Structure 1
Amino acid sequence: MAFSHRDHHPQRSAASHPEDVGRTLDFGEAFAFAQQQVRNLITKAPGQMPTYTEHGTWALTDDPWAPTWSGGFLTGMMWIFADRTQDPWWRQQAERYSELLEPRKADTGTHDIGFVLEPSWGRWYDLDPNPRGRDVLIEGGRTMAGRLEAPGGYLSTWVDPGSTFIDVMMNVGIIFRAAAYSDDPELHKIAVTHCHTTRRYLMRGDGSTLHEAWFDTATGEFLRSATHQGWRADSTWSRGQAWAIYGFTTAYEHTGDHSMLDTARRAADYYIGHTPDHGVPPNDWNDPSPAQPFEASAAAIAAAAMLRLAGCLSSTADADRYRDYGLRILTTLRSTEFIAADTPGWQGIIRHATYHQRNGLGIDESVMWGDYYFLEALDLAAGQTRQGGPQV
Structure 2
Amino acid sequence: MTDAIGLQDAAAHDPARAARGATSGPGHRTLTVEESLDFAAGQVRRLVTDSPGKLPTYTSGGKWVFDDDPWAPNWSGGFLTGMMWVFARRTGDPWWREQAERYCRQVEPRKSDPGTHDIGFVLEPSWGRWFDWTGDAHAREVLVEGGRTMAARLQEVGGYLSTWVDPGSTFIDVMMNVGIIFRAAKYADDPELAEIALRHCRTTRRHLVRGDGSTLHEGWFDTDSGEFLRAATHQGHRADSTWARGQAWAIYGFTTAYAHTGHADLLDTARRAADYYVRNTPDGVPPNDWLDPGRAPRREASAAAITAAGLLHLGAALGEQHGWAYRRYALDVLARLRSTEYLAADSAGWEGVLRHATYHERNGLGIDESVMWGDYYLVEALDLAAGPTPGPSPR
Q: TM-score range by the shorter chain?
A: over 0.9
Aligned partners of 1:19 and 1:333 also within 8 Å: no
Deviation at 1:347, TM superposition (A): 0.2
Choose the corresponding residue for 2:140, options 122, 134, 139: 134
Counterpart residue number, 1:325: 329
Moved >2 Å (runs of 4+): 17-21, 290-293
- Counterpart among 285, 306, 329 of residue 301 in structure 1: 306
Q: Which residue of 1 aligns with 2:350?
A: 346
Report the Cα distance in structure 1 between the residues aligned to 2:296 and 2:150, rounded to whole angstroms: 35
Unaligned runs of 5+ in 2: 1-21, 391-395
- Say if 2:350 is the partner of 1:358: no
Give 1:92-241 correspondences, 5 Å limit.
Answer: 92-241=98-247
Distance in structure 2 (CA, Å) of the matches to 1:288 and 1:355: 19
- Deviation per CA, 1:171-205, whole angstroms, max 9, x where unpaired? 00000000000000000000000000000000000
Alpha-carbon separation, structure 2, partners of 1:78 and 1:291: 36
- Name the counterpart of 2:12: none
- Secondary structure in structure 2 of the residue aligned to 1:141: helix
Q: Verify the 8 A CA contact 1:166 1:202 in the aligned structure 2.
A: yes
Structure 1: distance between partners of 2:303 and 2:56: 18
Aligned CA distance change for structure 1 residues 189 and 283 (closer, same or farther; 3 Å): same
C-alpha deviations, 1:201-241, integer Å up to 9, x for none? Answer: 00000000000000000110000000000000000000000
Distance 1:125 1:385, change over 3 A: closer
| Match in the other structure for 1:377 | 381
Residues in 1 aligned to 2:65 and 2:344: alpha-carbon distance in whole angstroms = 17
2:315 alignment counterpart: 310
Q: What SS is found at the alignment partner of 2:170?
A: strand
Q: Secondary structure at the match of 1:312?
A: helix
After superposition, where does 1:237-316 map in structure 2 within 5 Å?
237-276=243-282, 278-289=283-294, 292-314=297-319, 316=320
- The one-letter amino acid of 1:245's match is I
Q: Look up the match of 2:393.
A: none
What does residue 7 of structure 2 align with?
none
8 Å contact kept, 1:156–1:163: yes
Shift in Å, 1:28 = 1.5
1:244-299 per-residue CA deviation (whole Å, 9 max, x = no partner) reads: 000000000000001000000000000000012x2000000011216743100000
- Structure 1 residue 385, shift from structure 2 partner: 10
Q: Alignment partner for residue 43 of structure 1, among 49, 52, 56?
A: 49
- CA spacing shift, 1:291–1:52, aligned 2, 3 Å: farther
Distance in 1, Cα, partners of 2:117 & 2:370: 23
Distance 2:191 2:199 in 1: 12
8 Å CA contact retained: 2:81, 2:103: yes
CA-CA distance at 1:317 after TM superposition: 3.8
TM-superposed deviation, 1:18: 7.5
Aligned CA distance change for structure 1 residues 291 and 110 (closer, same or farther; 3 Å): farther
TM-score, normalised on structure 2? 0.92
Q: Deviations over 1:90-147 (max 9, x none)?
A: 0000000000010000000000000000000000000011221111000000000000
Equivalent pairs, count:
369
1-structure distance, mates of 2:254, 2:183: 15
SS in 1 for 2:387: helix
Aligned equivalents of 2:24, 2:302: Cα separation in 1: 16
* Residues in 1 aligned to 2:43 and 2:203: alpha-carbon distance in whole angstroms: 40
RMSD of aligned alpha carbons = 1.4
Q: Answer yes or no: is the 8 Å Cα contact 2:90–2:389 preserved in 1.
A: no
Instruction: Give the Cα separation in 1 of the matches to 2:295 and 2:116.
Output: 30
